[in-house]
Amino acid sequence: MPPPLPPLAELCGPLLIAYMLNWGLFGTLSVQLYLYYRAFPEDRKLNKILVYTVYLFELAQTVILTHDAFEIFAKGFGDVSALDLVHLDWVTVPLTTGIVACIGQAFYAHRIYVFSRSYWIPVLILLISLTSNICALVDAGLSRAAGVLPTAHTRETTVISIWLGGGALTDVLIALAFTYHLYKRDTGFSRTHASIVKLIRLTIETGALTALVALTDLTLFLALPGKPFLFTPGAILPKMYANTMLAVLNSRFVIVGGRGYTESSRSLPHSFSFRDREVVGSSNGHGVEGNTRGPAVVTISRDFFADGERSEEVEMKDVRV
C-alpha cells in the first residue's frame, strides 16, 4: 500500500500566498522609492542612507523568495522533496525582519526625540527594539541549523515570542508616543492642525498595521506549532516595515488640487501642482519648477521632519499669464 500523500495544500499554500504578497508589497515599495527619489533629491543624507539600505535588503529578500518559488513551483512541480529547497527562510524571514525592523524603529525613535526633546521614551523604544531584533537574529541562527522549512518552525518558543511580541510592543509604543507628542504641538490653527492630523493618522495606521502582522505571526506560531502557516506573515513583515517608513517620509508633500487637498494643506512642506506648474519638493524647502502653463503658487517651508518645529512658509505667486 503506497504511503499517504502529505498535505500539499497545507505545505504549499502558505508559501504561495507569501510569495504573491511579497511581490505585491515590493512593487509598492519600488513605487514609493521612485516617489521619494523624485520628490526629495536634496533630503538629508541620513534619510537617504536609511531608505536605500532598507530597499537593498528588501530586494535581496525578494530575489531569494523568487528563486525558491521557481524551484518549488516550476522546476520541482509535483515533487514533494522540492519543498526542502526552502533552505534560506532564515534569511528571508527572521534575519531580514530583524535588520529592517531595527532600522525602522530606530528611525521612529529619533523622530520622537525630535518632537519631545526627551530621551526616556526613545531610549525605552530602542531597548525593546534591540531586544526583540537580537532575538530575531538568534532565531535566524536556529532556523539555519534546522535546515528545511517543515522543521524550522519547531524552534525555541521563547526566542520567537520575544522577537514577535517585542516587535509588536515597540510598534504600539511608537504609535502612542508619536501621537501624544504630535497632539501636544497642535496649536489649533488650521494650517498646523492639518499637518498634525495627517501625521497622527499615518502614525496610528502604520503602527497598528505592523503590530497586527507581528501578532498574527506570533499567534500562528503558538496556536499551530510545527505548521508552516506563520511563514506568510513572517515573509511580508519586513516589507511592511519598509513600506511604512517610506510612507512616513513621503507624507511630507501634498498634491495641489488633488484628492483631499485643502487650502490648509499648503502648510505641509512639499507640494506638487499638476494643473499649472510641477513643483518638486526638496528637504531644504525649495521647489524645482517644471514646465509653465499659467499662474503658479509655490509653497516654501522648513522641513517639518528636520527639527520638529512648525512650518514657516512664504507663498510666492507667479503673476505671469
**Segment 259-280, tens digit of pLDDT:** 555 554 454 444 444 444 344 4
Which carries the bigger pLDDT value, residue 201 or residue 3? Answer: 201
Which range, of 7-21, 66-80, 234-248, averages the lowest pLDDT?
A: 66-80
Q: Is 315 exposed, middle or buried (0-12, 13-18, 19+ CB in 10 A)?
A: exposed
The whole-number average pLDDT for the span 288-307 is 42
**Cα separation of the two ends of the chain:** 87
Taking only the tens place, the pLDDT of each residue in 167-204 is: 999 999 998 888 888 777 666 666 666 667 777 778 78
Which carries the bigger pLDDT value, residue 256 or residue 150? Answer: 256
Percent of the chain whose predicted confidence (pLDDT) is above 70: 66
Domains of the chain listed by start with CATH number = 8-251 (1.20.1070), 254-317 (no CATH)
Decide: helix, strand or coil at residue 300. Answer: strand
Average pLDDT, the chain: 74
Task: Answer whether residue 89 shows pLDDT above 50.
Answer: yes
Q: How many CB atoms lie within 10 A of CB 204?
A: 14
In this structure, the strands spanning 253-256 and 270-273 are parallel
**Which pLDDT belongs to residue 277?**
38
For residues 11 and 257, give the distance between their C-alpha atoms in angstroms, rounded to a whole number.
49
Q: In degrees, to the nearest 5, what angle opens at C-alpha 57 toward C-alphas 210 and 36?
A: 75
Q: How many CB atoms lie within 10 A of CB 213?
A: 22
Instruction: Give the containing element (helix H, strand E) for 9.
Output: helix 8-39
For residues 134 and 201, give the distance between their C-alpha atoms in angstroms, rounded to a whole number.
30
Give CA separation, 24 vs 53, 150, 186, 283, in Å.
20, 25, 36, 29
**Which pLDDT belongs to residue 141?**
81
